[in-house]
Amino acid sequence: MQKNILLIMTDQQRAEYVGYAPGSAAETPNIDRIAQNGAYFTRCCTTNPICTPARTSLITGRYPRQIGTLTMSGDLFPQIPTFMQALQKAGYRTCGIGKFHFTQTYPWATPRGCGMDLTAGASRQYGFDEVWETAGKQQVVGNDCDYGAYLRDQGLLEQVRDFYVECGGSNGDTPDHNYDRALPWPFAEEDYIDVVTGRKACEWLRAHPAEQPFYLLASFCGPHKPYDAPQRYLDMVPEEQDGGFLLPDGQVLTDAEKDALCRQRRSAKAMLRLIDDQVGALLGTLEERGMLENTLVLFVSDHGDMLGDHYRIQKGVPWEQSVRVPLAAWLPGQAPVGEVASPVEISDIAATILEYAGLDAQQALSRDWPAYNDRIPSRSFLPILRGEADSCREFCFSESDFTEERVPGQDWEQLLQKRGADGRRGNAWQAIITGSGKYVKYLDYAPGELPYEEYYDLSADPGETANRIHDPAYQEQATLARRRLMYLLDHYPAAQKTWCTARAAGYRKERDL
C-alpha cells in the first residue's frame, strides 16, 4: 500500500484557535475532521516561537540551537539533513507549496523588492522535488517569490505591496506598539495568498501520478499578521467585545489598544475560516483520487500569537499563547485516538513522518561526520496514533532569543518594564514544559548575577499568573526542571559543519567522506 504524507501548516496560530480544542475560540470544521479521525495533541509545544527557528527545527528534527537558527536571522545551513531528503532517497516525490521560511538572508531594513528571489528554487536543496513558494505577506514587499510572480501576472504586485505597507508592516512588541490596522483584503478573494496556496496544492494533488508515494507540504501564511481577512470571512466571525485578555502584574489596556486587539483577533479567526476551507478542498481532492485512505495527514502551526495577553503581541516569548500550538494527526486505517495530553514537540513531526515511511529517524537525520551531527531529539508519536502508547516524551524544550526585534532608538529598559517582573523578562530565555508545569530561565543577566527564573503550575494556573519559583511546595518540580535543562544544553550542542574542499594531491577518491 502507498504511504503518502500531507503536512498542512499555518503561521502564528494560537492552540485554542481550532474548533476541536477544549475552550475553542474558532470554527474550523475541516481541520476538526483531521482531529476527530485521528488524534489531537493539547500539549504540543514549538521548540522556538519564531518562524524560521521553528520551521527549520520541524524539518530537521533538531533544536534550533543545534542548527544555528536560534532567531530569525540567517539561513538553515544546507549540510543539515532534512526528513524530505530522506523521503526522496526512499522514492517519494516531494513538493512544497506555500510559506517555508527556512531562509532569512537579508535584514528587515532591505529596500522594497531588493531581498531574495525565491523563484530561483533555492529551497529545493532542502529536499523538495518541486516548489511553489510564498515569501509571506509582509515579506512579499521585499522579496520575489512564486506568489509575487502570480500577482505580477495579474497586474497586482505593486498594489498588493502598497496594501501590506498600508496595513502597518512594522512589527511590535507590546499593545502600545501595535502597528497592524487589521484592514480587510481589498482585492479579489481568488487572489488572496492562502486561496492561491490552497488552489496550487490541490492542482498538484490532482496531477500527481497515483503509483508514486508523495510528501506534500501545504503551508499557509495566515493567521500571521497583517490581519487582512477578506470581508466575506470577516462577516462570518462575530465582533470581539472584550477579548478576555490575561493581564497579570497590574497591566492595563487602554480602550484604543483593546479595540485594535479585538479587531486583530476577529481577523485572525476569519483567516482561519478561510484556511479551513482550503483544508477541506485538500481533503476532498484526496478523496476524489482515492488517496485519503493511504495518506498520513498532519496539521500544525509553527508558533502561537500573544494578541494582547500578558501585555504582549506576536510571539518570541515563553507564555502559553506563544509556545503552545495546535497539532492534529490522522493515521489511515487506525481508530480515532482523541485527545492526547502528554507533551510533544513540533520537532517530533520529523521522526513521525520518517517512521510512517518505514525509515529510521536517527539514521536518516544524522551524519557520521563532523561531530554532534548524530544528536537527534525528535521522537515519533506514531505509536500514539496507533494506540500503542500514551506518550513519546516526558517534557518539551523551547528557547528563543528575539534579538532582531530590538528596534534602534527603542527605550529597551522601558519596554522591559512593560513586561512585568520588574523588567527581568528579556528576549532570551530557555524553558522546560511538561503536561502540568513550566520552568523558564531568562538569559539577560550579568556576570555575578543569578538568572531570573519562573515556574508555573499549568494545571492549577493555566493563565500563568503566579510565579511559584520560590514557593516551597514547588521546589522539587523546579529542581527537576533545572536538571532537565542542564541535560539538554549539555547533550545537544551545535552540529559542527564543513566548508573546506581542498585536499592533498593524490588523495584517493574512495577515501572521500
Nearest to 276 by CA among 325, 218, 334: 218
CATH 3.40.720.10 intervals, the chain: 4-385
The architecture that CATH gives domain 4-385 is 3-Layer(aba) Sandwich (3.40)
- According to CATH, the topology of domain 396-491 is Arylsulfatase, C-terminal domain (3.30.1120)
Q: What is the DSSP string of 142-208?
A: TSB-HHHHHHHHTT-HHHHHHHHHHHH-S--SSGGG-----PPB-S-GGGSHHHHHHHHHHHHHHHS
The Cα diameter of the chain in Å comes to 76
Burial of 229 (0-12, 13-18, 19+ CB in 10 A): buried
User: Grid coordinates standing for 135?
Assistant: 515569501
Q: Which amino acid is at 232?
A: R
Beta strands in 422-483 (DSSP E): 428-433, 437-442, 453-457
CATH 3.30.1120 intervals, the chain: 396-491
Strand 39-41 with 344-345, pairing: unpaired
Q: Given this model, what pLDDT does residue 240 score?
A: 81
Distance between CA 78 and CA 20 in Å, rounded? 37
Distance between CA 144 and CA 473 in Å, rounded? 55
What pLDDT digit, counting tens, does each position of 83-117 carry?
Answer: 999 999 999 999 999 999 999 888 878 899 889 99
Q: Quick check: helix, strand or coil at residue 366?
A: coil
Nearest to 216 by CA among 121, 280, 127, 328: 127
Burial of 448 (0-12, 13-18, 19+ CB in 10 A): exposed
What pLDDT digit, counting tens, does each position of 7-17 carry?
Answer: 999 999 999 99
- φ and ψ at 340, to 5 degrees? -120, 115
Give per-10-residue mean pLDDT for the chain (513 aa): 94 97 92 98 97 97 96 93 98 98 87 90 95 94 96 98 91 88 98 98 97 97 97 94 81 93 97 98 97 97 97 95 98 96 98 98 96 97 97 97 66 82 92 97 94 98 96 98 98 95 69 52
126, 85 Cβ separation under 8 angstroms: yes
Nearest to 74 by CA among 47, 40, 106: 106
- φ and ψ at 9, to 5 degrees? -125, 145
User: Grid coordinates standing for 139?
Assistant: 515579506
Distance between CA 47 and CA 346 in Å, rounded? 7
Query: What's the predicted TM-score (pTM) here?
Result: 0.96
